[in-house]
Structure 1
Amino acid sequence: MEINYLKNGFSVVENGKVIFTHTEEAPAIFVGKGKEKMDIYRGNFDIEDYVIERYPLKIAKEENGKILLSACPDSKPELELTAELKDNYAKIKIQSYDKALNRIWIRVPAEKEEFVWGCGEQMSYFNLRGRHFPLWTSEPGVGRDKTTEITFLSDKYNKAGGDYYHTNYPQPTFVSSRKYACNVNSTAYADFDFRNEAFHELQIWEIPESIEFFTADTFLGIIEQLSDRFGKQPKLPDWLYDGVILGLKGGEENTFSRMENAINHGIPVAGVWSEDWAGVRETSFGTRNFWDWKWGKKRYPNLDKKIKELEKRGIRFLAYACPYLCTDGDLYPIAEERGYFAKNSKGETALVDFGEFYCGIVDFTNPEAAEWFKEEIIQKNMLDFGVRGWMADFGEYLPTDDVYLSNGVDAKIMHNAWPALWAEVNAKGVAERGLTDEVTFFMRAGGAGTQKYCPMLWAGDQSVDFSRHDGLVTVICGALSSGLLGNAYHHSDIGGYTSLFGNRRTKELFDRWVDMAVFTSMMRTHECNRPYENFQFDQDAGTMAHLARMTKIHRHLKPYLKALSEEASQKGYPVQRPLFVHFENDIKTYDMQTEYMFGPDMLVAPVWQKDVKEWQVYLPAGETWINIWNDQEICGGQSMTIDAPIGKPPVFFRKNSKWADLFKEVKNY
């Protein structure tokens, strides 16, 4: 890239394409001051801002390779910009001369017909144009649609309804159909606004370190650049492809008897995930885990022996942990005595309400605290005990008021950085034991840099339904948006998780979720927050047979999945991809968020509505497609309605794929 200096302005240009421009007549950078109000209730944030002042920095002067920005010709410079330029890359460093400035608005040129994607893991809308997206890690909400009763009730009783933009994983990075990506280097609260036809306005609640631009000739090239920038995930453990991870809990007898029953019904089981391995507590939300991360002998008295027995049978045991410790656990007083928790203004442990119980936040900005958590919990209590995977939950709850951290940085700045710190603690624990090839953990919280440490994302807590903004369909959007930013692996709770206000999982929902999960990086079931009120896979012989068959298909695809994992480790390409990354000339694919490419050669269009037997599918132009269930050949570039019974979700593959023989065998299951 290069910078062109203009009269009272400048442009960042790549091969004649203007990526960013700032002039006196059309300033792109505004600064100001604001005062925010942030209220937190169990991970849900109510955020308001009062803008005290906002003004454009119209005047740009170049001096000794630096650009000085000021509000008017006679005023002192307020920002200093320094450009670092390479092929296909520009980094504009930003330095403020006025420390009182705490708001900046940056306008990036837009075109009317432009598409924009990214901003972390977005669950409702893949194409971001026409909307704005606050970027702040939080609970995603229950319902996430202000027109629905569930959202209304969640707001009324728990302040937890959420909206389309709420996400566990925000990231101030977007990809444009103009074949560039933009990243703002800041973990402060941000709001990316894509509603204007002429520009994208990026609001950040601090003066960021820099803004970066990446360009490439292809979308895959942009993904590769972003993966180089933020980090790549290692190849997945080989055992993960050999079956489903069964989410089972309820104590030792219940968990393992149900596992044996599943195996006896022909279900290939790669692992058993017991989130209650450390114990439980009862709340109005449902049965919750006891947040004291060590073996709960009362609930699982023989777990140490059972883990060894399972491993001999090729079955791994997976557990659960999060970065908080409950006040009534054994680990809490140890960490408190050593000063490992975040503090309040009185120098006491800052306690957080997690829903009828309180916890301390282990301060990962304190190297000793991070080291202790890594050694005592991740390594000794989990890895050395035989655990070979876990849900590394949460990371979104760092409060912003009356919380003080070891590194001295404002909690408002560290809040969005916390998921990456949490991921790093887990990753280092695994790496130091030499188990990166054998162990996996999965997270819902994320941010810039999570890619380097978190081996797999999970889509968080969907409702147990087919709803547009909180049901099955949202996990597709989440996989596609996060995948563009270098998160190669993504999966979800089969059957969803959140059951509230009479919303209960059905057999149909579970079966349809299984249909989709086959064509993701990992298959893992979840009992949900209220297991005894919701459908479970082993309550129905038909679902047991369905899960067995579909899991065998997933296992059959192991050679293909391993090839995708190898590619991901080298180039950062996601396993689940937007159609347009392989069909750039087909503009219809740019706005599709309910279909995806499963690697380069398979197209998957999951059924995400209830009570349907047919489904409309669009097949991209320029390819002959094969229906995986009946070998029917179809020319691309058309939409069609096809039969889509449970067990035969719409899946197609390229006729000329080198994996065609493997794919053709799927119909025999």
Structure 2
Amino acid sequence: MKIIEEKNSFKIEYNSKILIEHSQQSPFAFAGSGDAEYKMYRGNFEIEDYLESRVPLKYFQIEEEANYSLITLKSSREGGLSLKIKAGLVAGRLKLEFLESSSGINRLWLRLAADQEEKIYGCGEQLSYFNLRGKNFPIWTSEPGVGRNKETYTTWQADVKDKAGGDYYTTNYPQPTFISTKKYYCHLESTAYQDFNFKNDDFHELEVWNIPDYLLFETGESYLELVEKLTAYLGRQPELPEWVYNGLILGIQGGTDFVLEQKEKLKENGVELSALWCQDWQGVKHTSFGKRLSWNWEWNQELYPELDQKLKELKDEDIRFMGYINPYVLEGKSLYQEAAANDYLAYDSEGEIYLVDFGEFYCGVVDFTNQDAFNWYKEVIKENLIDFGLDGWMADFGEYLPTDCVLSNGKSAEIMHNAWPAIWAQVNYEAVKEAGKLEEVLYFMRAGFTGNQKYCTLMWAGDQSVNWSLDDGLASVIPAALSMGMTGCGLHHSDIGGYTSLHGNIRTKELFMRWAEMGAFTPVMRTHEGNRPSENFQVYNDQEAINHLARMTKIYKKLSKYIKAAVKENTEKGIPVQRPLFMHYEADQKCYDLKYQYLLGRDLLVAPVYQKEKDEWEVYLPEDKWIHLWSGKEFNGGEIKVKAPLGQPPVFYRKDSESRQLFEEVAEI
């Protein structure tokens, strides 16, 4: 690190990269205050900030110590607002620690040096954009909303009727971390509301609604090296259990008889199954939204009679059984009563148990800042899920923590809100680890923040609409996976067929089949019936779709050796399984703007068909020797068009791949 100081300016250089430029005319930092108002409706947030002040910290003083520099920024020569920063190298990383500030500052804006050609990736799971340059991205975990595009009819209807339309930046999993094409990563350590603005040519502006702990940078010679360094810092996901690669995790509901009947039907028709995922294992509730669950996390013997015995029989067939849990307990039920009696729930400002509206039913928030409550919920997972015989579950939600609830640790719920998903991940992780089941149990989450990397076995893309929309349909899960990979979570998948059926969106057979094709070329294949199963296409009702799904599961299973190697690389080095093309083709400038194609591991290029009624598809290939998986035709790169009927998604492999024989065998399935 070098601080280059001049009369009225300074620069911070790290590994020959200028990251911070400060002058009186263009300061590095602005400080101020504001008063935010948060309105939450079923996980969707309306946030308004009354900005009271924003003051440039123009003046500076730098004191050199043995291993670091102390930078004092002030709003005037005489004093005014001030901010003290400790800048130095810690374990080879550039760390700017925020030590002291004037009282009353609760807003900070930090500017990083940028250039016009630079591109930015990451910030958690972003579903509309992969290259984030030119937009701002609020860092706040929430429901992503329905439609996620204010110009669409679906989003307009969702806003008018449900206050739930979403926008391009709304996401279950934001994170204040990004990677720049200037070959560095940046991480801001804070759980407060933030907004990362990448609109300006000359600087990136990071807004945060408190004084953060620190700003961290690290550089790399390549993007592979960068994600390896980033995940070495944030943590890495464990490898997937071996049973996952046996085939499809079938999302199905309806009770023991129906589930086993459909399982037999699919097996007889050649569908390779690894697990049955029955999210209604603990019972159901019916609301205007559709089929919901009874949030009391214990086996519902009425809906699933003899399930305790059936689990053992399924395991004899090498099929696992998965369930569902989230960090809330349903008012009036046994777990709620136990939590209330033991003071395990969060309170409101009047000292009453805080009840959250989840859509026609209310739940208490298990207060994980209370260590006794944290430990109790781990025991609920161990006893009611693991000991009962579940081999995995959806660890849902995490993004609903109300900002006005009162927590045991005394910290503001506004500050704890973003932290909550990672704490929820930690509850699951410790329960599984303490049970000695880390190599056997798979839980998957949609909500996240800094810390999920080391505590979550698998991410999923959340509740997509059952349609072809770019911002909220099949296409959106591709930039979601890529951005997650650039944020340190390299294991990602989505609901095959989508989930949300509202405002005229009805799943079609074609959509399901195209989604299944993509799912075969991801780390995990899993279906979902959706929020309104009876109104939407279900695979087990259509023979052609069953045959198509059977083939896709065979392809996935055949690829398992290759996928396993990529998963192992993610665990050991943090290199994501689904990768942007530029991760291996850095010199190809076109690769940096591709958000609907990806590399699966090093050697497979996948370009899913995300529009209806298409039998041809345009693909961009970086310069290399590529073999079209289905025809065997060789290409050297560039824009091409290939046949893409149902059953033949555009997939290519590198001719020089060590797995070429395996890919040739896949093509014969």
TM-score by length of 2: 0.98
2:315 is paired with a residue whose SS is helix
* Aligned match of 1:428: 430
CA apart distance, 1:328 = 2.8
What residue number does 1:544 align with?
A: 546
Query: Do residues 444 (structure 1) and 446 (structure 2) align?
Result: yes
Alpha-carbon shift at residue 87 of structure 1 (Å)? 7.2
| C-alpha RMSD over aligned residues | 1.1
Distance 1:332 1:86, change over 3 A: closer
Distance 2:12 2:271 in 1: 56
Is structure 2 residue 611 aligned with structure 1 residue 593?
A: no
| Structure 2 match to 1:313 | 317
The yes-or-no answer on 1:28 pairing with 2:32 is no
Structure 1 counterpart of 2:519: 517
Would the aligned equivalents of 2:124 and 2:449 in 1 still touch at CA under 8 Å?
yes
Q: 2:348 and 2:149 mapped to 1: Cα distance? A: 35
Partner of 1:382: 385
Aligned partner of 1:627 in structure 2 is: 628
Give the alignment of 1:372-521 within 5 angstroms: 372-375=376-379, 377-401=380-404, 403-521=405-523
8 Å CA contact 1:518–1:551 kept in 2: the answer is yes
How far apart are residue 202 of structure 1 and its match? 0.7
Farther off after superposition, 1-10 or 584-593: 1-10
Q: Tell me by how many angstroms 1:191 deviates.
A: 0.7
Structure 2 counterpart of 1:625, one-letter code? W
Specify which of 187, 192, 196 is matched with residue 188 of structure 1. 192
Is the Cα contact below 8 Å between 1:146 and 1:163 reproduced in 2? Answer: yes
Q: Which of residues 319, 324, 327 in structure 2 aligns to 1:323?
A: 327
Give 1:285's match in structure 2, choosing from 278, 283, 289: 289
Which residue is 1:19 aligned to?
19
Contact 2:15 2:219 in 1 (8 A): no
Match of 1:651 in 2: 651
Deviations 1:621-667, CA, capped at 9 Å, x for gaps: 2x11011112111002x101110111110001111111111111111
- 1:88, 1:216 within 8 Å by CA — same for their partners in 2? no
Q: Distance in 2 between matches of 1:336 and 1:411?
A: 19
Instruction: Give 1:628's aligned amino acid.
Output: L
Distance 1:115 1:56 in 2: 27
Q: Deviations over 1:262-306 (max 9, x none)?
A: 111110110000000000111000010000001111111111001
CA distance in 1, matches of 2:593, 2:443: 32
Matched with 1:100 is 104
Deviations 1:566-596 (A, max 9, x none): 1111101110001111000001000110000
What code does the residue aligned with 1:387 have?
L
Q: Secondary structure at the match of 2:610?
A: coil
Using the alignment, how far apart are the partners of 2:597 and 2:301 within structure 1? 45
AA aligned opposite 2:5: Y
Q: Distance in 2 between matches of 1:502 and 1:76?
A: 57
Aligned mate of 1:297, from 296, 301, 316: 301
Contact 2:144 2:170 in 1 (8 A): yes
Per the alignment, residue 365 of structure 1 pairs with 369
Question: How far, CA to CA, are the matches of 1:596 and 1:249 in structure 2?
Answer: 32
Task: Give runs of aligned pairs for residues 13-162 of structure 1, distance below 5 A.
Answer: 13-63=13-63, 64=65, 65-75=69-79, 78-86=82-90, 89-162=93-166
Counterpart amino acid of 2:335? L
C-alpha separation between the residues in 1 aligned to 2:606 and 2:319? 29
1:155 maps to a residue whose letter is: D
Matches of 1:454 and 1:6, distance apart in 2: 47
Corresponding residue for residue 662 of structure 1:
662
Is the partner of 1:113 in helix, strand or coil?
Answer: coil
Q: Tell me if structure 2 keeps the 8 A contact 1:14–1:88.
A: no
1:349 aligns with 2:353: yes
* 1:190-205 alignment runs, 5 A limit: 190-205=194-209
1:86, CA displacement in angstroms?
4.9
Distance in 2 of aligned mates of 1:558 and 1:502? 37
Report how far residue 205 of structure 1 moved: 0.5
Equivalent-residue separation in structure 1 for 2:247 and 2:409 (angstroms):
43
1:569 aligns with 2:589: no
Once the two structures are superposed, residues 153-173 of structure 1 have per-residue CA deviations (whole angstroms, 9 ceiling, x without a partner) of: 110111001101000000011
Matched residue type, 1:596: Y
Q: CA deviation at 1:429?
A: 0.4
Alignment gaps of 5+ in structure 2: none
In structure 1, what is the Cα distance between the partners aligned to 2:101 and 2:162? 43
Name the structure 1 match of 2:620: 618
TM-score of the superposed pair, with normalisation by structure 1: 0.98
Aligned-residue offset at 1:2: 3.4
State the secondary structure of the residue aligned to 1:652: strand
- Secondary structure, in 3 states, of the residue corresponding to 2:417? helix
Superposition deviation, residue 312 in structure 1 = 1.2
Report the Cα offset of residue 77 of structure 1. Answer: 6.2
One of 260, 263, 266 as aligned partner of 2:267: 263
Which whole-Å CA distance do the structure 2 matches of 1:189 and 1:241 have between them? 39
TM-aligned CA deviation for residue 76 of structure 1: 5.2
**2:641 maps to what in 1?**
641
What is the match of residue 207 of structure 1?
A: 211
Q: Tell me how far apart the structure 1 counterparts of residues 619 and 603 of structure 2 sit (CA, whole Å).
A: 16
CA distance, structure 2, for counterparts of residue 15 and residue 333 of structure 1 = 57
Aligned partners of 2:399 and 2:107: how far apart in 1?
23
The alpha-carbon deviation at position 88 of structure 1 amounts to: 5.5
> Deviation per CA, 1:75-103, whole angstroms, max 9, x where unpaired?
15611110231575201001233231000
Q: Distance in 1 between matches of 2:101 and 2:511?
A: 56
Does the CA contact (< 8 Å) of 1:138 and 1:166 recur in 2?
Answer: yes
Q: Deviations over 1:92-118 (max 9, x none)?
A: 001233231000001111111111111
Contact residue 31 and residue 81 of structure 2 kept, 8 A: no
SS of the residue 1:292 aligns to: coil
Deviation at 1:440, TM superposition (A): 0.8
Find the aligned partners of 2:57 and 2:46 in 1 and give their Cα distance: 31
Deviation at 1:230, TM superposition (A): 1.0
Q: Aligned partners of 2:538 and 2:582: how far apart in 1? A: 36
Are the aligned partners of 2:247 and 2:554 in contact in 1 as well (CA < 8 Å)? yes
Q: Aligned residues, how many?
A: 665
The counterpart of 2:173, out of the listed 161, 169, 175, is 169
The one-letter code of the counterpart of 2:626 is W
